[in-house]
């Protein structure tokens, strides 16, 4: 497994691969891998000649009061895990390499970033789309692979790629969960033992929404009320949002008709967790 | 000469060229060609296997009160001129192809777009950088070629390409002028006979600035005052700005030290004209 730290070297490596007709699959990450990341790397492995994984905790997608500095990092562990997943290249740039002193360009996706996490994390998606634009230009992948736990991120990236005519395919894969249903997240490690128990309420709320939908309920407010009641019952929880949205526009919908997603963000103690369920999909552990 | 109208076809043509090791030079234009455009096509011809020229009057770079709808267009004439300049491919997309109904992504270069034309044309550079991002992703050039008459545009595009790690080279070429010195512009055709005479004052102001600089003057205010007096003396003129800026930051400077540019925008009748001179460069007719 090769470790590349500069933009120039990564671009020339990727350009060489492309010229030799090699297919590049790319998994952008912030590191501190869990099985969710590994599953994306395995999917990448299936469809490409070369699998590139970036490890970069991107400062521009954190708000000033968010957890950028304490976001978990463990490069050695990440490298071992990626190597075991047969990753070919790790792109591991410094902040200086990504955002030199005179840096001043940002990519904005305007509409699908307004609701959900966009409301509580102003500037977050701007940071995400900017760094992904950069990473796509650096890694030059044929396909980039994202987890659907960050559903709004996935939709936003797809919108950006389509709007800016980036010639690559974006694939999303289902959320990987712990044995009890908690969506895997590098932030789960912030949780105390008691908080970890409460955190399960996100999954239970989605399960309950799935059950109501299967029984024929289509009114968003009914499903949301029930989910909120469940979450509020658990200790240490504070709801940021519980919403049902159209999956294309990510606007709130009153009644579930087309493809719709229940998305939720809940603070458990000091840790903000998100999860989601697209109605009609499986909700597997 | 091939005419391509869809994003998909252009991307697959360019990808094919790149895979065969062909070098692509790209000249983005809004059409209505003059010798300035043609000179860029000739420069492109010198350095590439395939020369692609886009003709697209980009709506997102015009303000609501600007001349988008009456901007001059003459496709037949443009095609003949491009063919004579040995252009290989014209990319000529529709508005619908470039900005579908659900379009919502924009690229912002924040600092170098603040001064000069950025002050009088809010949103203009956002439109320029957005459409150039798209065009670069569609045409996939190794090098893109711009005229330096639009100096701030040139600097802004270079900034964007560098910041977003777009793997292409940006080249700028000197302004091409009429026999009397007027910078060539598709908008010159708006000018009446009398306005055309007054329009020459932009070049004369730059000439006078060049003379003062050569004599040793380094105070911006002295050079600007003299230029403004010259321009104000001509009938039908209304100064938008006359400024001297650092060429990297495009911030106003009090004293000329490093590489500096005098940039001016003047309304002659209803037509807004721009021109510039980098101190130390030639100011050729």
E strand map for chain B:
2-4, 24-29, 50-55, 89-91, 105-109, 143-147, 169-173, 237-246, 260-268, 271-278
Chain A residues touching B166 at Cβ < 8 A: 137
> How many Å apart are CA A106 and CA B107, to the nearest integer?
6
Is the alpha carbon torsion for B230, B235, B237, B239 positive or negative? positive
Average pLDDT over chain A, rounded to an integer: 97
pLDDT in tens, A32-65: 999 999 999 999 999 999 999 999 999 999 999 9
Per-residue pLDDT for A70 more than 90? yes
Q: Does B107 touch chain A (CB under 8 A)?
A: yes
Is the alpha carbon torsion for A179, A182, A187, A192 positive or negative? negative
pLDDT in tens, B134-179: 999 999 999 999 999 999 999 999 999 999 999 999 999 999 999 9
* CB-based contact B108 A105, cutoff 8 Å: yes
Q: Give the distance from residue B91's alpha carbon to the nearest chain A alpha carbon, in angstroms.
A: 14
* CB-based contact A108 B105, cutoff 8 Å: yes
> Which pLDDT does position A122 carry in this prediction?
96
Q: Does A132 touch chain B (CB under 8 A)?
A: no
Query: Nearest CB to B163: which of A11, A105, A163?
Result: A105
* CB-based contact A104 B163, cutoff 8 Å: yes
Inter-residue contact B54 to B135 (CB < 8 Å): yes
* CB-based contact B167 A15, cutoff 8 Å: yes
* CB-based contact A163 B105, cutoff 8 Å: yes
Query: Nearest CB to A165: which of B110, B134, B159?
Result: B134
Structural domains of chain A, with CATH:
2-173 (3.40.50.620), 186-277 (3.30.1300.10)
Q: Does A196 touch chain B (CB under 8 A)?
A: no
pLDDT in tens, B221-273: 999 999 999 999 999 999 999 999 999 999 999 999 999 999 999 999 999 99
> Which pLDDT does position B284 carry in this prediction?
82
Three-state DSSP class for residue B86: coil
Counted across chains A and B, CB pairs separated by less than 8 A come out at 88
Per-residue pLDDT for B206 more than 90? yes
- Active-site residue (options: A37, A124, A142, A277): A37
The reply to whether A277 belongs to the active site is no
- How far CA B265 is from CA of B73, B109, B141, B259, in Å, comes to 23, 21, 31, 20
pLDDT bracket for residue A132 (50, 70, 90)? very high
* CA-based radius of gyration for chain A: 19
Chain A residues touching B140 at Cβ < 8 A: 167
Is the alpha carbon torsion for B254, B255, B257, B263 positive or negative? positive
Chain B residues touching A164 at Cβ < 8 A: 105, 107, 130, 133-134, 137
Helix/strand/coil (H/E/C) assignment for every residue in chain A: CEEECCHHHHHHHHHHHHHCCCCEEEEEECCCCCHHHHHHHHHHHHHCCEEEEEECCCHHHCCCCCCCCCCCCCHHHHHHHHHHCCCCEEECCCHHHHCCCCCCEEEEECCCCCCCHHHHCCCHHHHHHHHHHHHHHHHCCCEEEEECCCHHHHHHHHHHHHHCCCCCEEEEECCCECCCCCECCHHHHHCCHHHHHHHHHHHHHHHHHHHHHHCCCCEHHHHHHHHHHHHHHCCCEEEEEEEEEECCCCCECCECCCCEEEEEEEEECCEEEEEEEECCCCCCC
* CB-based contact B138 A165, cutoff 8 Å: yes
Average pLDDT on B184-206 reads 97
| Main-chain dihedrals φ then ψ at residue B271, nearest 5 degrees | -100, 125
Q: Does A129 touch chain B (CB under 8 A)?
A: yes
pLDDT bracket for residue A131 (50, 70, 90)? very high
Considering only residues 64 to 103 of chain A, which have any Cβ-Cβ distance to chain B shorter than 8 Å? 102-103
pLDDT in tens, B250-262: 999 999 999 999 9
Of A162, A185, A143, nearest in space to A275 by CA: A185
pLDDT bracket for residue B126 (50, 70, 90)? very high
| Residue B275 β-bridge partners | B264
Q: Give the distance from residue A59's alpha carbon to the nearest chain B alpha carbon, in angstroms.
A: 15
Per-residue pLDDT for B193 more than 90? yes
Average pLDDT on B209-216 reads 98
Nearest residue of chain A to residue B114 (CA atoms): A104
Q: Is the ipTM of this complex over 0.95?
A: yes
Q: Does B231 touch chain A (CB under 8 A)?
A: no
- Per-residue DSSP letter, B188: G
Per-residue pLDDT for B285 more than 90? no
Nearest residue of chain A to residue B105 (CA atoms): A109
Q: Two tokens at B6?
A: 């869809």
* CB-based contact B7 A165, cutoff 8 Å: yes
Cα of first residue to Cα of last residue in chain A, in angstroms, is: 31
């Amino acid at each position: 497994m090769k470790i590349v730290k500069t933009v120039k070297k990564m671009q020339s490596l990727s350009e060489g691969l492309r010229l030799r007709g090699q297919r590049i699959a790319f998994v952008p990450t912030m590191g501190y891998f869990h099985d969710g990341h590994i599953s994306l790397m395995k999917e990448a492995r299936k469809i490409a000649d070369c699998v590139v994984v970036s490890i970069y905790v991107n400062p521009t997608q954190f708000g000033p009061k968010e957890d950028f500095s304490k976001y978990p990092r463990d490069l050695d562990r990440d490298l071992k895990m990626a190597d075991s997943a047969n990753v070919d290249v790790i792109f591991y740039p410094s902040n200086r390499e990504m955002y030199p002193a005179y840096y001043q360009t940002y990519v904005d996706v305007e509409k699908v970033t307004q609701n959900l996490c966009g409301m509580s994390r102003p500037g977050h998606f701007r940071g995400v789309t900017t760094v992904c634009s950069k990473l796509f230009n650096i890694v030059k992948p044929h396909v980039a692979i994202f987890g659907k736990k960050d559903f709004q991120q996935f939709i936003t990236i797809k919108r950006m790629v389509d709007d800016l005519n980036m010639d690559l395919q974006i694939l999303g894969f289902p959320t990987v969960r712990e044995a009890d249903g908690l969506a895997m997240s590098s932030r789960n490690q912030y949780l105390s033992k008691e908080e970890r128990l409460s955190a399960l309420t996100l999954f239970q709320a989605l399960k309950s929404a799935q059950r109501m939908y299967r029984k024929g309920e289509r009114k968003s407010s009914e499903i949301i009320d029930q989910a909120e009641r469940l979450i509020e019952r658990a200790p240490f929880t504070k709801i940021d949002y519980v919403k049902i949205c159209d999956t294309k526009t990510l606007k709130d919908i009153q009644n579930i008709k087309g493809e719709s997603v229940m998305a939720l963000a809940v603070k458990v103690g000091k840790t903000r967790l998100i999860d989601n369920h697209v109605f009609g999909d499986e909700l597997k552990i």
